[in-house]
Chains A and B, each alone.
Chain A
Amino acid sequence: SQKIEQNSEALNIQEGKTATLTCNYTNYSPAYLQWYRQDPGRGPVFLLLIRENEKEKRKERLKVTFDTTLKQSLFHITASQPADSATYLCAPTGGGNKLTFGTGTQLKVEL
């Protein structure tokens, strides 16, 4: 069955550093992968989508990579700020638009 793994432990980094979050998947080949941000008590908010034929996607301070050989996506936030503190969810999607989410990684950016 499909399996999606994200770092279960919180990631703590200092302000100004680059945060790197990992999303690994097994037993399927997603056509695209989405990243969402979720703040406590709120619904997820879409950040970026990357397709299987794209290696890298950027949006402002965000960068996503997609390695279909390693079955892995990396999500980077450069020049991180305390306001970036949240849980980040990945959703590798095999087809159609049904999202299957990972468990999320909590990011804490400290001053």
Chain B
Amino acid sequence: EAEVAQSPRYKITEKSQAVAFWCDPISGHATLYWYRQILGQGPELLVQFQDESVVDDSQLPKDRFSAERLKGVDSTLKIQPAELGDSAMYLCASSLAGREGETQYFGPGTRLLVL
């Protein structure tokens, strides 16, 4: 069964350093999402791509976060510089076409700890 791949699974970094997370969606899925999940809370959407275009980045802290999906397939989320409050699980998800009600398939996540 096809799955969303993410790496690394765990990342420990010091504040002010740069970190990057990678996501490979299910093959053929046009829509890709990055979520952040703080412990004890539900996932919060950071950015949504339709193919290579950003369709929603309203919750992305653009002063330090950036995301790209250059060829409309895999994607990278970067934080620079990392802050203590960025410690969280970063989840990537994909869906077939981004239509209303479409199932989103989540990867295993990258757990980030900022010291």
Contact = CB atoms under 8 A, between A and B. Distances in A.
Interface of A: 4, 31-32, 34, 41-46, 49, 51, 89, 91, 93, 95-104
- Secondary structure of the B side of the interface? loop
Given A102-B42, A103-B41, A103-B42, A42 B100 contact: no
B107 A43 contact: yes
Contact of A43 (B98, B100, B109): B109
Given A49-B101, A98-B56, 16 more contacts: A4-B42, A32-B100, A32-B101, A42-B108, A42-B109, A43-B106, A44-B43, A44-B91, A49-B103, A95-B100, A97-B31, A97-B99, A97-B101, A100-B45, A103-B42, A104-B41
A48 B2 CA distance: 20
- Secondary structure of the A side of the interface? loop
A44 B106 contact: yes
For chain B, give the interface size range.
20 to 34
Contacts of B91: 43-44
